[in-house]
Amino acid sequence: MNRMFTLCLILMAFGAVQAQEKDTTYWKKGGIASLGFTNSDQSRYWQAGGIASQSIVGRINVFGNYEKAKTSWQNDLTLGLGAVRQGKGDETRFIKNEDRIILNSKFGHRFSPKLLLSGLFSFRTQFIEGYAFAPNQPTVTPSDTVSNFLAPGYIEFGLGLDWQPAENISIYYSPVNSKVTIVTLDEYRPLYIPQDITTGPVRYEIGSKLNIKYRRELAKNINFQTAAGFFANYLQNFGNIDVNWETLTTAKVNNWLAINFATNLIYDDDVRFDIVDDNGVSTGVKGPRTQFQHVLSIGLTYTFLK
């Protein structure tokens, strides 16, 4: 219920952004919804061997950008959820392989055609619980969870300069940016919040923030967009930079079929993993590691809000 309530608030807030100005000529809006799925199975007597599998991935990307005189307001929302199952039977569960809620809003005052003073707000979390798979047992359904809704959740806000040399490029820098890490469930806090700083559900950081966004039509019916964020904490380990870099490439085959390829690279010095050796055995050491995910889906797509 809490997840659905929060999702409704996000969608209502985004809708309110669209409704603020009666004259919609100042708005540029767009969105893509995609749904991809796979299914593989074979008979009991299948000489080549194999295992049944099913997967489904859904994703929605929408944006609404307002420009009037010296005022600029840019908003984008990304929702994604996917699951995969290997095997069949009641005991075989679907486990998520894609899960994200990301909301960004940037309001600015334009000093020149390419430079703005802007305030940036962002929110990021996931819908459902996530499981930790053992590297040496990748097909065994785990019992240990490592994340859930608002565990963790991230809120960032700050004030800075936004350079927009072209319509689809934005380079934003804030010398004073706040980052709030929220972990509402006790069992996950040591994974995302250093216990020598606080054992509570919230950690506050202040530092500098660099955001780079780029969107381009690479060819007819092929669109590419990317967003990269870099954050350095002034108060602890200033030289360690948190990175969150996402890309999405969409190639439309026709009006309802498309190929989507998404990537996400994350490095956060406060997110600690159990370090394993080449055989997948734990070394007993915990530490930060570069995280990377890619999702390739071929399926139904719908473009809207144009």
pLDDT of the residue at 8: 52
- Minimum mean pLDDT among 4-13, 207-216, 224-233, 262-271: which range? 4-13
What digits encode the pLDDT tens for the residues 61-77?
899 989 999 999 999 99
Q: Write the CB contacts of 16 (distance below 8 Å, at least 6 apart in sequence).
A: none
Q: What is the topology classification, in CATH, of domain 2-42+49-304? A: Outer membrane phospholipase (ompla); Chain C (2.40.230)
CA distances from 269 to 173, 225, 230 (A): 21, 26, 12
- Asked whether the predicted pLDDT for residue 134 surpasses 80, the reply is no
89 vs 36 pLDDT, higher one: 36
| Cα 70 to Cα 67: distance, rounded to the nearest angstrom | 8
pLDDT band at 81 (very low <50, low <70, confident <90, very high): very high
- What does the pLDDT read at residue 11? 53
Split at pLDDT 50, 70, 90, the class of 139 is low
pLDDT for 121 equals 96
- Burial per residue of 158-185, b for 16 or more beta-carbon CB atoms within 10 angstroms, e otherwise: bebebebeeeeebebbbeebebebbbbe
pLDDT of residue 150: 95
Q: What confidence score (pLDDT) does residue 185 get?
A: 94
Rounded Cα distance, 157 and 124, in Å = 12
**Full-model pTM:** 0.86
Residue 275: predicted pLDDT: 83
Q: What is the Cα–Cα distance from 127 to 148, expressed in whole angstroms?
A: 7
Q: Which tens digit of pLDDT belongs to each residue from 240-258? A: 899 999 999 989 888 899 9
Position 141 confidence tier, pLDDT thresholds 50, 70, 90: low
Q: Residue 270 has what DSSP assignment?
A: T
pLDDT at residue 209, rounded to an integer: 97
- For the chain, give the mean pLDDT: 86
Query: How does residue 99 score in pLDDT terms, banded at 50, 70 and 90?
Result: very high
175-212, pLDDT tens digit by residue? 999 999 999 999 999 989 988 888 899 999 999 999 99
Statement: residue 170 has pLDDT above 90? yes
What pLDDT is attached to residue 200?
92
If pLDDT is split at 50, 70 and 90, which confidence band does 147 have? Answer: very high
The residues that bridge with 21 in the sheet, in sequence order, are none
Each residue's pLDDT tens digit, 258-299: 998 999 999 998 888 878 777 777 788 888 899 999 988 889
List the domain boundaries for the chain.
2-42+49-304
> Greater confidence, 162 or 15?
162
- The single residue listed with the structure tokens 């606080």 is 198
Q: Which residues contact 304 (CB under 8 A, 6 or more apart)?
A: 31, 32, 33, 62
Amino acid 17: pLDDT = 52
Q: Is the pLDDT score of 155 beyond 60?
A: yes
Q: How confident is the model at residue 15 (pLDDT cuts 50, 70, 90)?
A: low
